[in-house]
Structure 1
């Protein structure tokens, strides 16, 4: 019978200490979502639009409300009852031709939307944003594009909805606190 060798006790203590240091350090990482727990409610007024298509503001407002309800712990509230307000305006909407057929008919197009958003704490009137690309008026600029090909049945309406949904996701992503 071969005698089993026991690992040295000092080694086990050093190993346990190392594991506990690694587990406890975590670099300020936390489990769960990254939204500020001090904020309980948000008001999202109808997004204004500086472009000809006025329905874009209503569509973006609805998409933002859905994203906030689905992905954040915040509840939607009236301005009088809300802790914060997410307001914005659509500053640009353009449609560009990416490809044409031999008769100069567009085969593939690109829809681009640009939005300025401001998230304000209504309790302190302070703008909430840790983004590096702030504009001079404390608004955060977002852009989104979507491609579509009319020849294969894709429509401007579909591309618009895709672009608006992408914008809403990006805006809600901005609401997470950085770690």
Structure 2
């Protein structure tokens, strides 16, 4: 359990129906922060295909996908991924997350980001985790700051979000200063 009756675990194909439901309920809420998603994305089949892709990326060592589950019901209430994993001298990964609007304000996103950073350091040996937020997404910026991230730059027209190329504020958290693992 990470916080308030919510568990974080690796995503599975069995999560597809629950993810489709929670994403559909949160579609309007997430739209300002997400790339355009086709209607099929919000179906069980669409989520099954997306999860299959996440698991393929996991198996290739480039991503660790998690789902946040309400322990009492088994219902997904969010997700967090550690992606863009690069080994060697960079030893870095990027974190992205979302939480069901009904669960906002409970510290869930911060706890999940902190747990992903712990896993990145202790299980993967990564040196650094990075994230980007839309410049006006102050809620996500608070999450990252509370989780020990610091801002390090601005990326103009970084991602195509909600129909346009949007500037992003970049954050990072350094996890340790050990040398990278030997190849």
TM-score by length of 1: 0.25
TM-score by length of 2: 0.24
